Structure 1
Amino acid sequence: MGIGSYIMIFVDSCLIIAMVVEKDQWHNQSLLLVEDLEKEEKVITEAMILESLNMIGKCKGGKVGRIIFQYIEDNYRIYKAPDFLNRAMKEFIKYDGTLSLADCTAIIAMKDLGICEIYSFDDHFDKVDGILRVN
């Protein structure tokens, strides 16, 4: 469901990492996808931010990580909810660890917000009913 004329889209950490890390195999594709997202309400969880910034910091340094954190704060809705991590852990168990706990936070946020699309290069989201992966 969208707010106003916006459609909410969930953004996976791999898209943010690929956008910043030029050596990432998905870098060029990520830049095209980010253009598509300009007019959409982008949603992310804190777990996805942690995944993104850990890798960006490793590859590009802490200062770049801080810039990306500020970009996310300014341009994304960071989803939080009561009992969020416990619900994500139930998804984690459901998928027997084949999805990371961070990925399971994405599933919970998407269910809570009625989001059907995730921008991601990770095909493990393809096994989740009700989620369409855009790449």
Structure 2
Amino acid sequence: MTAAVDTSVLFAHRSAHDEFHERATEIIGGVDHGQLPELHITDHVLAETLNLLLNKGTHRKATQTMDLLIEGSHFRLLHTPKTDFNSTQALFRRHPHLSFVDASIVAYMQRTGIEYLYSFDDDFDSVDGVTRVNSAVDPR
């Protein structure tokens, strides 16, 4: 089983001062140890995470995070195809509370049939077909 992940979890894991740092670290640790589903990370989420780390942290923290996600055996980095981009535009127009990146996550999940999303962002709660998980639990 796989799940998608939002920037909020990845950023909180790498930012010790984030209010969700402890929960995010438990989630990422569970994924690393194979206790939680493999996480799919879209290129939009990766870019948003690295940019946040660069702006609120350091270049080194951003590059270390990039390397950890690329090398991690339980993380899958994915390119967003044009079909997802088209769906993202429609979702972004329909859901004013979603950022463009959040809409792209939903588009990816809809296309691939992924139901579960690890995220601390409750804006996803109003999107049909998305079940948000905000702690280190296995939704299987």
Tell me the TM-score normalised to structure 2 length. 0.85
Given that residues 84 and 111 in structure 2 are in contact (C-alpha distance below 8 angstroms), is that contact kept between their aligned partners in structure 1? no
Question: 28-37 or 124-133: which moved more?
Answer: 28-37
Q: What is the identity, as a one-letter code, of the residue corresponding to 1:58?
A: N
Secondary structure, counterpart of 1:103 in structure 2:
helix
> Kindly, what percent of the aligned residue pairs are identical?
26
CA deviations on 1:64-84 (whole Å, 9 max, x unpaired) are 101111222223222322332
2:6 maps to which of 12, 30, 40? 12
**Equivalenced residues, count:** 128
1:47 matched to 2:41: no
User: RMSD of the TM alignment (CA)?
Assistant: 1.3
Q: CA deviation at 1:130?
A: 1.1
Q: Give the Cα separation in 1 of the matches to 2:90 and 2:77.
A: 21
Q: For 1:131 and 1:83, locate their aligned partners in 2 and report how far apart those are by CA, in whole Å.
A: 19
1:86-101 equivalences under 5 Å are 86-95=86-95, 97-101=96-100
* C-alpha distance after superposition, 1:13-44 (max 9, x if no partner): 01010001111000011111112223222101
* 1:112 to partner: Cα distance: 1.4
1:128 aligned partner = 127
Structure 1 unaligned spans of 5+: 1-6
Amino acid at match of 1:18: A
SS of 2:41's equivalent?
Answer: strand
- Counterpart of 2:82 in 1: which secondary structure? coil
- Per the alignment, residue 18 of structure 2 pairs with 24
Runs of 4+ in 1 over 4 A off after TM superposition: none
Q: What amino acid is the match of 1:120?
A: S
Q: 2: CA distance between counterparts of 1:26 and 1:93?
A: 29
Q: Which residue of 2 aligns with 1:85?
A: 85
Gaps of 5+ in 2: 135-140
